[in-house]
A and B are shown apart, each in its own frame.
Chain A
Amino acid sequence: MIVHPSPSQTSVSDPTMMAPPVPLRSCEGAASWQALRARRWYAVMGLMMLLTCGAIVFCLQFGAHALTLAELWSALTFSTAGREDVARVIIWDIRFPRILMGLFVGASLAITGAALQALVRNPLADPYVLGISSGAALGATIGLALGLGSIVGGLGLPLCAFIGGGLSIVLVYGIAASQGQLPMHQLLLAGVIVNAVCSALMMFVTSILNPASLYRVVLWLMGTLSAPSIPALIGIGSCLLIAVVLLIKESQALNLLAVGEDAARSIGVDSDRVQRTVFLVSAVLTGAIVSVSGMIGFVGMVVPHLVRILCGADHRLLLPVSALGGGILLMVADTVARTVVAPAEIPVGVITALIGGPFFIYLLMTRKYRFFA
């Protein structure tokens, strides 16, 4: 017979200790399944952590000036002598902040993309569908047009973008939640409309900009990571940390919502609360990253999709693996962007699309592979 679990029996540490009141056969099967699920989670996460560390080392090593592993090691450990001083400056002052920013931005794009795809039950959604990006872009463009680009110690542009993004969040949310609920199709439509209106306004502003400002706007729109300021890094990092905790806390609710909203509610999911949480967390995080990096396409839509093909759709695994995967993709893409035509740079958004697109097509065409599922 089926039993109700007692809240005290929660340990997963020692599978031999427990004697749950169920038939032996079920219990053995259940225990082995549980061990398998936990083991799989730790294995995949461990692998992703290793890959992330490997990617960081790789990205530190390469750039306009490639370093040997020995140089890298001595620069990292401060055992300096003569020439390594240059390496130390390159690594600690230029590459490391930029790599971290790549990790944070990529992780933010991928994790919000994954959460939004579950929320709107559409695997093609990405963080930009909510209309925040064009709001931020409009803010940045207006800021440049008014000559606010270099106030507040170079933070003027990101600030304008963040304000624009924030206003568009309020607008999208206001349109979508006009009847006290937050219907998802309404949210998507509101995002599309705000996107369109903001783009039109932005084109109007750019048409009257001077050429120098226009160049900055275009570069920003293409999506670039440049060596960030420490406050920006700390700001984005803490936003990301809070977002990861809040989203992962809802991962089982997202699983249920991805299958069907009514069914999820009937099993006990407070869908209104989950939808509001995910929307607000995604919106604020997207606004923050768009303000520092512009529009970097592709990562938010494709990384969750890839992870789903490889690991399945369980958001407890999907969300953290997407975050690390998005971080890795963007770090590596940015390294390529600043290396191939050094000392010039390609916008990183170009690279993400060029690497990711064909790879994604390949995986779609060979969909039978689900390595960890």
Chain B
Amino acid sequence: MSQHASVTAVSSPLPAFEVRQLSFRYDSVRSRPSGGRSAWVINGMDFSVRQGEIIGVIGPNGSGKSSLLKLLTKLVRPQEGTICLFGAELAALSRESISRQVAYMPQDLSFDFPFSVLDLVLMGRFSYRGGGLWNLLGWERREDLAVAEEAMAQTDVTHLASRMIDTLSAGERQRVLLARALAQVPRVLMLDEPTAHLDLNHQLDVCRILHRVHAQLRMTVLLVSHDVNLASQYCDRILVMKQGAVVCIGPPRDVIQPQILTEVYGCQVLVDAHPDTGLPRVSLPAQDRHQTVAASGML
């Protein structure tokens, strides 16, 4: 695939992420009752994320997308390979210094506890908290509240500040979580399925906000999505994963192609141009044309 390597050869800033020979597997006694080692979840990945780009990660279920995000936030550690965050080795960085540079928005959050929206957004300020006996409770400073307010304004949730999160709709929650991530004042924003379970209007909201944040704050955005069309419309580059390895990486026009998607997902797809943007658009074929690709040996 085309890598556009020549464009930024001279004044290229440090890449946000530089991933070399990354391999990872869950090292759990229970994952394999037979006693053998578990399979590699990430298997020798090499890629880099440029500063200020929106990069989408797509791939079938179980291809290691979420594990990749956890590796990039040092929530789990790789068995092999290195990850560099703005030139510094991730393994050597402290939890707090990572959390001031990378905000991670996972899927599986619990809303059983009635926190207010402001409480939740202020949680993003955790790594900036003051310590000491005089502030045992860890109250936020006024700067923290100003940052939280700014973040809530960015994601249009200021009017919800005193609402409880368990009373919000899924779309509002997602925007609140985005505000919490922005309150970390990160350089990189990592999102795991930000539009899952949202209706069309809320999907559009989240995407618009992402685009605005990216444009205004020059933030690097890395998003994992099952929605290939969303990735195609909003990402500068797309990383396609399969079985823990990079299949290809490049701009949507190069990557969103029928043969690549068919190889990765194992089913036939139709790709045409989006009527507004001209970017590739993916649809599934009619049922009678949905033949047994997996059996035909294209993998």
Residues of A within 8 A of B (CB): 1-7, 9-10, 12, 15, 18, 20, 22, 26-27, 29-31, 33-34, 37-38, 41, 118, 121-123, 179, 245, 248-249, 251-253, 255-256, 258-260, 262-270, 308-309, 312-314, 316, 370, 373
Contact = CB atoms under 8 A, between A and B. Distances in A.
Interface in B75-134: 75, 95-96, 98-100, 102-106, 108-116, 118-120, 123-124, 126-130
Given A121-B112, A266-B73, A256 B123 contact: yes
Nearest to A178: B29
A20 B143 contact: yes
A254 to B, nearest CB: 10
Contacts of A33: 118, 145, 149, 161
Given A10-B130, A259-B109, 14 more contacts: A2-B185, A5-B128, A26-B153, A121-B112, A253-B126, A255-B123, A259-B120, A260-B108, A262-B106, A268-B98, A269-B126, A308-B113, A312-B164, A314-B116
A179 B70 CA distance: 20
A268 B96 contact: yes
Contacts of B96: 268
Contacts of B143: 3-6, 9, 20, 22
Contacts of A253: 126
Contacts of A9: 141-143
Contacts of A179: 28-29
Interface in B7-39: 28-29
Given A9-B142, A31-B142, A268-B96, A255 B149 contact: no
A260 B106 CA distance: 9
B146 A22 contact: yes
B136 interface: yes
A4 B128 contact: yes
B135 A10 contact: yes
Nearest to B73: A266
A34 to B, nearest CB: 5
Given A256-B126, A266-B102, A370 B114 contact: yes
Nearest to A260: B109
A252 B139 CA distance: 9
A34 B138 contact: no
A252 B135 CA distance: 12
A309 B114 CA distance: 8
B222 to A, nearest CB: 13
A267 B126 contact: yes
Given A179-B29, A255-B119, A266 B75 contact: yes
Contacts of A3: 143, 146-147
Given A22-B146, A26-B150, A262-B106, A316 B137 contact: yes
Contacts of A18: 142
Contacts of B185: 2, 4
A342 B175 CA distance: 59
Contact of B119 (A20, A267, A314): A314
B212 to A, nearest CB: 14
Contacts of B120: 259
A256 B106 CA distance: 13
B110 A258 contact: yes
Contact of B110 (A12, A27, A260, A314): A260
B138 A252 contact: yes
A5 B141 contact: yes
A267 B184 contact: yes
A368 to B, nearest CB: 10
B144 interface: yes
Nearest to A12: B139
B151 interface: yes
A318 to B, nearest CB: 9
Nearest to A179: B29
Contacts of A4: 128, 143, 185
Nearest to B148: A30
A307 B213 CA distance: 37
Contact of B130 (A7, A26, A269): A7
Contacts of B46: none
B140 interface: yes
B123 A252 contact: yes
Contacts of A7: 130
Given A259-B109, A266-B73, A373-B114, A34 B142 contact: yes
B139 A38 contact: yes
Contacts of A259: 109-111, 113, 115, 120, 123
B142 A313 contact: no
A263 B113 contact: no
Contacts of A26: 146, 149-150, 153
A200 B64 CA distance: 45
A228 B144 CA distance: 47
Given A33-B145, A260-B108, A260-B109, A255 B150 contact: no
Nearest to B30: A179
A266 B104 contact: yes
A253 B119 CA distance: 12
Contacts of A269: 95, 126
A255 B147 CA distance: 19
Contacts of B182: 2
A20 B147 CA distance: 11
Contacts of A263: 104-106, 109
